[in-house]
Amino acid sequence: MRPTLSGRLARLFGRFAVSGLLLAAAGTTALAPPASAAGGLTQVTGFGSNPGNLSMYAYVPAGLPAGAPLVVALHGCTQTADDYYANSGWTKLADTYGFALVFPQTGSANNALSCFTWFDPADSTRGKGEAASIAQMVTKAESLYGSDADRVYVTGLSAGGGMAADLLAAYPDVFAGGSIASGLPAQCATSQIGASGCQYGSLGLTPAQWGDKVRAQFPGYAGPWPRVAIWQGTSDYTVHPVNATELRDQWTDVHGISQTPSSTASLPAGTTLTSYDDASGRPVVQLYQISGMGHGLAVDPGSGAEQCGSTAAYFLDTVCSSYYTATFWGLDRDGGTGPGDGGEQLPAPTGLTAGPATDTTVSLSWSPVQGAASYRVHRGGAQVGTPTGTAFTDTGLAPATTYTYTVAAVAADGTVGTVSSAVTATTTGSAPTCTTATNYAHVTAGRAHTGGGYTYANGSNENMGLYNVFVTHTLKQTSPGHYVLADSGC
């Protein structure tokens, strides 16, 4: 009966395959075998019992010393390890900052569209299937390359993003941080049929209920919990933007912090960065929303320091998400072992002050550090400038918004020094306005629009549920014509 079931599912979901749908047809009827990894990738065998039937590929920069970080990168549906190696930009960052990369690869024997099986507990939970195989790869990489077990991170796109979230929940003792691009909350679905409900709409869970899904994966674990970056295009109709909001709810609850942003920032390509800080002021959850981007991983081809990646199917030319993720994890400053990171660290700059501010800019200044060739300025955990002097003006900011800044000195050999104490600044202008109304009223007033019987916020395209007078939401206007859900507070 399996071929008949597979055929029915293929007919049911086949029309979505070209758009990269995560919910791939089950069964062993396969597409063409995935291309073998090549070019700088090395296949690693004998990494464990491999209950998930995966392949392991690795990229290690020449001369990488022991004690460097490790990043695990998970491809999306219809992709291979080599696709992610060639296009995601992580290889450039590994060379620049000094860390090893592992690229797990699944195939059509596991899933007809070569998707990681994020929706099946037999593959997505601790000690089971694909999740267990990836954990075994981490152990193997630590043994082969001497990777620092305290600085292991996981990132993934689409189905790989869903699996990355599951891994962060199942193995918080293994991964110090994660990045989920166009993906799903951890344990959002526990069956293939249930996966479509996650992709296309909200499950209507509270932050605590989402957090419980994480805590249930490793009962008794008391932390620390991984730092999580969430990347989402506002025009993604394969994995709807509500998933990013629910990921935010899930991981802020796990960290025991509010869903009210600590700061917001504007990045290139219409990207809005919203940070959520812990009690010490350290960003532990960051949400990156890219205006108008569809389903894929954000890349920015070019030779600039903040550019990376290549355009291809599901690698979309907007902003280098891998770069901003790496800086959020601190790979550029507190773990780098790449060229120029072996010298003596300079002390932290003192006297960092913020101001004056306008409605779109913040001016910073600090005392010079002897021996500094340049400085790195970070806003909310993301690098925003590399001035050679002791002043910098941050631009393109939102009015009436509070931002957090730190600065580090960089020596002539490229060694990044100790990070300064943080300062905050608030831009001038009017604060974003919030309106609570029914979905019908939001649409009538021009704050939202409809599609397929559902309501979507203008600008962010966040799913607000059914279009009627019985569903009520709060929308916050963050810029002209751009609204975001703000049910948890304006």
Question: What value does the mean pLDDT of the chain take?
Answer: 87
Catalytic entry in 133, 158, 202, 266: 158
- The band of 399, judged by pLDDT with boundaries at 50, 70 and 90, is confident
Helices (H), 227-298: 242-255
- The band of 381, judged by pLDDT with boundaries at 50, 70 and 90, is low
Residue 9 has pLDDT above 60, yes or no: no
158 is catalytic: yes
CA separation for the pair 154, 168 (Å, rounded): 8
Tell me how far CA of residue 248 lies from CA of 60, 154, 235, 306, 327, in angstroms.
Answer: 32, 17, 18, 25, 19
Residue 37 has pLDDT above 70, yes or no: no
Q: What is the pLDDT of residue 99?
A: 96
- The band of 384, judged by pLDDT with boundaries at 50, 70 and 90, is confident
Q: 403: buried, middle or exposed (CB in 10 Å: 19+, 13-18, 0-12)?
A: buried
Tell me the whole-structure pTM to 2 decimals. 0.72
User: Which DSSP letter does residue 430 get?
Assistant: P
- The band of 34, judged by pLDDT with boundaries at 50, 70 and 90, is very low
Residue 16 has pLDDT above 70, yes or no: no
- The band of 486, judged by pLDDT with boundaries at 50, 70 and 90, is confident
Q: What is the pLDDT of residue 474?
A: 93
Question: Within 13 Å, how many C-alpha atoms sit on residue 246's CB side?
Answer: 31
Phi, psi for 36 (deg, rounded to 5): -75, 145
Q: What is the pLDDT of residue 22?
A: 53
Average pLDDT over residues 59-74: 95
Q: What is the pLDDT of residue 403?
A: 85
pLDDT digits (tens, 9 = 90+) for 155-167: 999 999 999 999 9
Ranges of beta strands (E only) in 301-379 are 315-317, 353-357, 362-365, 372-379
Phi, psi for 324 (deg, rounded to 5): -70, -35
Phi, psi for 91 (deg, rounded to 5): -65, -45
pLDDT digits (tens, 9 = 90+) for 410-432: 888 777 888 888 888 989 887 67
Q: Which of 261-265, 288-292, 457-461 has the lowest mean pLDDT?
A: 261-265
CA separation for the pair 144, 66 (Å, rounded): 10
Q: How much of the chain, in percent, has pLDDT values that exceed 90?
A: 66
Q: What is the pLDDT of residue 18?
A: 31
CA separation for the pair 293, 314 (Å, rounded): 11
CA separation for the pair 184, 163 (Å, rounded): 8
Q: Which of 93-107, 332-346, 366-380, 405-419 has the lowest mean pLDDT?
A: 332-346
Q: 32: buried, middle or exposed (CB in 10 Å: 19+, 13-18, 0-12)?
A: exposed
Q: What is the pLDDT of residue 1?
A: 31
Q: How much of the chain, in percent, has pLDDT values that exceed 70?
A: 89
Residue 38 has pLDDT above 60, yes or no: no
Place of tokens 């279009």: 467
pLDDT digits (tens, 9 = 90+) for 145-154: 999 999 999 9
pLDDT digits (tens, 9 = 90+) for 83-122: 999 999 999 999 999 999 999 999 999 999 999 999 999 9
Residue 33 has pLDDT above 80, yes or no: no
Average pLDDT over residues 303-323: 94
Place of tokens 């943080």: 422
